[in-house]
Amino acid sequence: MESFGYLPRNGPPKKSTDQTAIVKTRSDWAAVAVATAGGAGFAPAAPGTAGSVVGVLIYLLFEGLNLGAYYLHAIIFFFVVGIWASSRVEHLWGHDAQRIVIDEVVGQMITFGFAAGRYQLSGVEITAGFGLFRLFDIVKPFP
């Protein structure tokens, strides 16, 4: 039943607990693709860690292609598009759905932001940045 400015008799529709439901339009699909970092958020275990891996891969891609000078632009792009996508997906799946991992992607990208295009990070430094980011993201210490 279409709602034309009024609520159905049984009240507003409930948010779905099935995180694959209600995705109907192309923009919904695009929002889900961005918010879940291309599907990384659907990882059966530790979707936040999978999202952080996507952030590391984006950093490595930029460094591998010698595009480090544009890394800040990518952070801003994913930040802005991620706000739109996560906001839209929250309307579909509910507040702070576990599958929304674009915040982990952007946070992980920020971790390497000062080095991108300036310093060549070693594998140990990248692993340390990844591990410390995950630790602080999970523990969420007081500022």
Sequence-distant (6+) residues with CB within 8 A of 103 are: 51, 82, 86
Rounded to 5°, angle at Cα 51 from 47 and 57 = 140
- Average pLDDT of every residue of the chain: 87
Q: How do residues 67-125 score in pLDDT, each as one tens digit?
A: 999 999 999 999 999 999 999 999 888 888 999 999 999 999 999 999 998 999 999 99
Whether 4 has a pLDDT exceeding 50, the answer reads: no
Q: How do residues 111-141 score in pLDDT, each as one tens digit?
A: 999 999 899 999 999 999 999 999 999 998 8
Q: How do residues 15-54 score in pLDDT, each as one tens digit?
A: 555 555 567 789 999 999 999 999 999 999 999 999 999 9
Strand spans (E) along 28-110: none
Rounded to 5°, angle at Cα 60 from 72 and 136 = 75
Sequence-distant (6+) residues with CB within 8 A of 83 are: none
The model's pTM is 0.82
Question: Which tokens in the block code for residue 137?
Answer: 């993201």
Looking up tokens 């159905």, which residue turns up? 8
